[in-house]
Amino acid sequence: MYKNTTNFEGVRQTNRGKVLTLIHESPGIDRTEIAASVGITNAAITNIVSELIRSRLVEEGAPSVVSLNRGRKRVGLWINKDGGYVLGVTVLATHASVTLTDLLGAVIDEVSFYPKLPADPFSTLDEIAHHAAKICKLHKVTQSRLLGVGFAIAGFLNETSQSLQSAPYLGWPKFDLRDELWLRFKCPLVIENVTRCIAIAETRIGSFIGAKNLVLVRAALGVGGAIISDGELLTGNRYLAGDLGHLLAERDGVLCSCGKRGCLNTVASGWSIIHKLGMGDSAYENIKQFRSHDKLLRDIINDCNDEDSQTAALVRNAGALLGTHLVNVLQVLDSEFCVLTGPLGRNRIYVESFRNQLIEVGYLGKVVCSEDTNVLSPAAASVGLALSNLVFSASLNVDALMAESLNHSMEARC
């Protein structure tokens, strides 16, 4: 998040971001501890903290236990949770959501809905903006204190996340998504593919904070993936890195939704299970079919209790094949964690089979599934993306917030 820079303003912004992040990660930390951690003088830290307090992002309070144990009277610093707000937005093939949270990520309001015209991006974005404006108004969140929007989409973006390149499940065309969002929100934005968004948020605010090498696999109707390598999202040459569902698993196999044959999606995904049960095929047609298959998969998973049934055997086989084909990826990346999520990632039979297969072939990292830890939902991850990239980051415009606070207090005095 923090890029080295020689520009004075850039250094100032970077240090503010570091201090704010430290206060977020260590509530009650004092100025001396921050100075030691950031590696700049006490005077500089005092100055930055004063700016953060004037901008209403930080407040003083009791020091943390660590400080008290030193037996010296110090002032603790805490994030002022009401100093700003973020919106998390998701657009998935199954539904869309808008979530408003405070600076600590506590949900203030959340709306989940089925877009009226899901294949029409502009109508869907209008609906999202309408819901966002409504909940911001209801909770008296002003434009100046809306610090950012995190947008997670079931689609792929270009290298700079400016425009949507493909969203086959939604049926959305290529267009400048950032531009369209800016027209509707007029505040800082961060846009990411939903699976990547979960991987980023997990390593910044979730159960895997600080994890440097992690592969996240979402096993649902299709298999999706995202890779964190050396602490950063691996993007690849065409910004498609981590798209695990289309790894070749079986030469001349079943036709996949991408037009090729034998992709991992055709042997290890929810679609492959539905196909083998004779209830549909793995070629994608439209969002209506996606939703009916999604419901079908969830029903299959819920009814899959009899371990000796044909369905259980298919689920078990799919989990094992995911492990078989993923192990090479995990070993090449030397990944510390493999996190399995999605509806199939919460199914005991699929998970056990996947985990056993990885252990059998000698994977040395940790396999973590949704039943071991609560992997962030897409909605929570979209909020996490906004907080980590737009608030606890060098990109936050603290000067504007200080000016706004000053105006606010002057108006209050008049």
Tokens of 349: 């039979």
Q: Closer to Zn ion by CB, 246 or 293: give it.
A: 246
CA 246 to chain CA centroid, Å, is 22
Q: Closer to Zn ion by CB, 223 or 401: give it.
A: 223
Q: Closer to Zn ion by CB, 33 or 243: give it.
A: 243
If one counts every other C-beta atom within 10 angstroms of the C-beta of residue 65, the result is: 9
Cβ of residue 245: shortest distance to Zn ion, in angstroms?
6
Q: Are 385 and 192 in contact (CB under 8 A)?
A: yes
Cβ of residue 11: shortest distance to Zn ion, in angstroms?
46
Cβ of residue 195: shortest distance to Zn ion, in angstroms?
16
Cβ of residue 128: shortest distance to Zn ion, in angstroms?
29
Cβ of residue 225: shortest distance to Zn ion, in angstroms?
13
DSSP β-bridge partners for residue 215: 227, 338
Q: Are 23 and 30 in contact (CB under 8 A)?
A: no
CA 32 to chain CA centroid, Å, is 33
Q: Closer to Zn ion by CB, 263 or 380: give it.
A: 263
CA distance 213 to 210: 9
**Could you give the angle at which helices 378-386 and 194-204 cross, rounded to 10 degrees?**
60
Helices (H), 205-309: 265-268, 270-276, 287-303
Cβ of residue 288: shortest distance to Zn ion, in angstroms?
21
Q: Closer to Zn ion by CB, 59 or 250: give it.
A: 250
Cβ of residue 253: shortest distance to Zn ion, in angstroms?
10
Residues of this chain that bind Zn ion (CB under 5 A): 246, 256, 258, 260, 263
Q: Closer to Zn ion by CB, 39 or 259: give it.
A: 259
Cβ of residue 29: shortest distance to Zn ion, in angstroms?
48
Q: Closer to Zn ion by CB, 271 or 337: give it.
A: 271
As a whole number of Å, the end-to-end CA separation of the chain is: 41
DSSP β-bridge partners for residue 193: 153
Q: Are 248 and 206 in contact (CB under 8 A)?
A: no
Task: List CB contacts of 353: < 8 A, sequence separation 6 or more.
Answer: 315, 316, 317, 318, 319, 320, 323
Which residue is listed with tokens 């030193």? 70
Q: Closer to Zn ion by CB, 280 or 365: give it.
A: 280
